């Protein structure tokens, strides 16, 4: 398991998507695909009251049908939602009847809960281009609603897993005025992960009161420096989505402008999303190591992001990290082909982990270091690469993982 990263005085709590007041969840196995282990494959999340909601979606031209339907729903309601229905094992993407089926999922959920279909956020993840069977989903409605519970977060988090090896949940507690608020979420994603607006499926809930507009603003800002700085394999999925639902049950004054409460809220959102990003990276398909690349000294944020992402994406570096090989030339190579402006002769690189730190490159050229210490540093399972590219104030972090035999194994025969 990953050690949660505390950015200050974060108070981590249990509960994931049910950590905030008034959110119930459930998960069941309905049989979308034959599965002898009967791993849960569909989940429901419901708020006791109507929520303000915001979402960001994949930028892939091929968009899963659920993305299209969720987008339409949120437009129709003006950013309101009450429930989430999400399945794994089938992405419902590139199917002629995809939108129809995705909307049908909303209707079934709405009927089961006595709400409107457009108040439902729908998501699917799994294989692309296979017809989604609707019968198992129809039959799942009763057990899903019956099992709904304020402690159902683990069931739900399990149900959205595909090749994930661990479920991913983070939640924090924070204060707005004198009101205690909660924000938590669950995520799935292991392969087909590369930054481009909302990687993977992520559902976040909060009991803070915040307008849909400010919620969207916070989400768009934070996703840029968290999920969008994550790369497992450079493949931008067709079904990526992050959505946040805020039900206001904490009773704070509603956030409707960029005030100090908004900053506090964004910090909580950042902590949850950043740690979920780290979880997603560490559980990348076949991964044995979490890689974190910090770029500083850039002229601006975008340059720092571009360079950090270029390094994290390099297959050669990822292989070297798997082999615990301090082949820093590959880091510099990936810095060099990043599409950004900076002076390559001012680049310094160091590599660190819980076992220590080594400087490997100064002013764009190699410097001597102990290969023994390097090996010790790189044998750890959480590796940090620090890169300074100049004297500017721009800095950013990107997250990824090593490239291993198991990545090839998992993806050489994923469908069967």
Question: Which residues are CB-neighbours of 367 under 8 A, at least 6 positions away?
Answer: 359, 360, 361
Q: How far is the CB of 54 from a second copy (least distance, A)?
A: 23
CA quadruple 56, 62, 67, 73: dihedral sign: positive
Which one of the spans 34-42, 60-68, 151-159, 221-229 is the region binding a second copy (CB under 8 A)? Answer: 60-68
Q: Is 344 in the site for a second copy (CB under 8 A)?
A: yes
Q: Is 133 in the site for a second copy (CB under 8 A)?
A: no
Residue closer to a second copy (CB basis): 344 or 354? 344
> Exactly one of 313, 352, 378, 400 binds a second copy (CB under 8 A); which one?
313
Residue closer to a second copy (CB basis): 26 or 310? 310
Q: How far is the CB of 56 from a second copy (least distance, A)?
A: 16
Q: Is 265 in the site for a second copy (CB under 8 A)?
A: no
Q: Is 337 in the site for a second copy (CB under 8 A)?
A: yes
Q: How far is the CB of 190 from a second copy (least distance, A)?
A: 11
Task: Find out whether 168 and 275 touch, Cβ atoms under 8 Å.
Answer: no
Long-range contacts of 327-332 (CB under 8 A, 24+ apart): 328/360, 328/361, 328/366, 329/366, 331/360, 331/361, 331/385, 331/387, 332/361, 332/364
Q: Is 361 in the site for a second copy (CB under 8 A)?
A: yes
3-state secondary structure (DSSP) of residue 298:
strand
φ, ψ of residue 139 to 5 degrees: the values are -70, -20
H/E stretch holding 251? none
Q: How far is the CB of 247 from a second copy (least distance, A)?
A: 34
**In the annotation, is 199 catalytic?**
yes
Task: Find out whether 304 and 229 touch, Cβ atoms under 8 Å.
Answer: no
For residue 407, what are its two tokens?
Answer: 């990545």
Q: Is 365 in the site for a second copy (CB under 8 A)?
A: yes
Catalytic residue numbers read 199
The footprint of a second copy (CB under 8 A) covers 59-63, 91, 93-96, 127-130, 191-192, 194, 196, 233-238, 313-316, 319-320, 322-323, 325, 327-330, 332-338, 344, 361, 364-366, 403-405, 407-416
């Amino acid at each position: 398991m990953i050690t949660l990263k505390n950015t200050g005085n974060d108070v981590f709590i249990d509960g994931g998507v049910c950590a905030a007041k008034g959110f119930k969840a459930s998960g069941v196995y309905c049989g979308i695909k034959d599965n002898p282990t009967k791993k849960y494959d569909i989940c429901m999340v419901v708020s006791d009251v109507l929520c303000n909601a915001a979402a960001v979606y994949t930028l892939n031209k091929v968009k899963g049908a659920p993305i299209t339907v969720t987008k339409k729903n949120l437009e129709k309601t003006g950013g309101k939602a009450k429930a989430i229905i999400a399945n794994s094992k089938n992405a419902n993407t590139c199917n002629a009847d995809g939108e129809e089926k995705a909307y049908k999922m909303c209707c079934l959920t709405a009927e089961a809960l006595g709400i409107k279909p457009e108040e439902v956020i729908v998501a699917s993840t799994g294989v692309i281009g296979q017809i989604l069977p609707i019968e198992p989903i129809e039959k799942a409605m009763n057990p899903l609603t019956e099992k709904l519970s304020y402690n159902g977060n683990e069931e739900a988090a399990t149900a959205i897993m595909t090749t994930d090896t661990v479920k991913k949940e983070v939640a924090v507690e924070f204060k707005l005025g004198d009101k205690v608020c909660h924000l938590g979420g669950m995520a799935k994603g292991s392969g087909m992960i590369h930054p481009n607006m909302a990687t993977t499926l992520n559902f976040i809930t909060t009991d803070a009161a915040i307008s849909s507009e400010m919620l969207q603003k916070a989400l768009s800002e934070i996703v840029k420096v968290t999920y969008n700085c994550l790369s497992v394999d450079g493949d931008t999925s067709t079904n990526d989505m992050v959505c946040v639902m805020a039900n206001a049950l904490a009773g704070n004054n509603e956030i409707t402008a960029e005030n100090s409460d908004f900053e506090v809220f964004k910090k909580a959102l950042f902590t949850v999303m950043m740690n979920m990003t780290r979880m997603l990276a560490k559980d990348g398909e076949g991964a044995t190591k979490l890689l974190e690349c910090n770029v500083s000294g850039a002229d601006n944020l975008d340059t720092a992001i571009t360079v950090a992402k270029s390094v994290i994406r390099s297959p050669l570096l990822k292989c070297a990290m798997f082999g615990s090989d301090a082949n820093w030339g590959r880091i510099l190579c990936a810095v060099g082909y990043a599409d950004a402006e900076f002076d390559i002769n001012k680049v310094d690189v160091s590599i660190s982990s819980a076992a220590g730190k080594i400087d490997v490159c100064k002013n764009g050229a190699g410097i001597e270091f102990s290969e023994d210490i390097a090996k010790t540093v790189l044998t750890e399972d959480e590796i940090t690469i620090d890169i300074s590219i100049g004297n500017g104030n721009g800095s950013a972090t990107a997250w990824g993982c090593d490239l291993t035999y198991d990545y090839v194994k998992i993806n050489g025969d994923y469908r069967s």
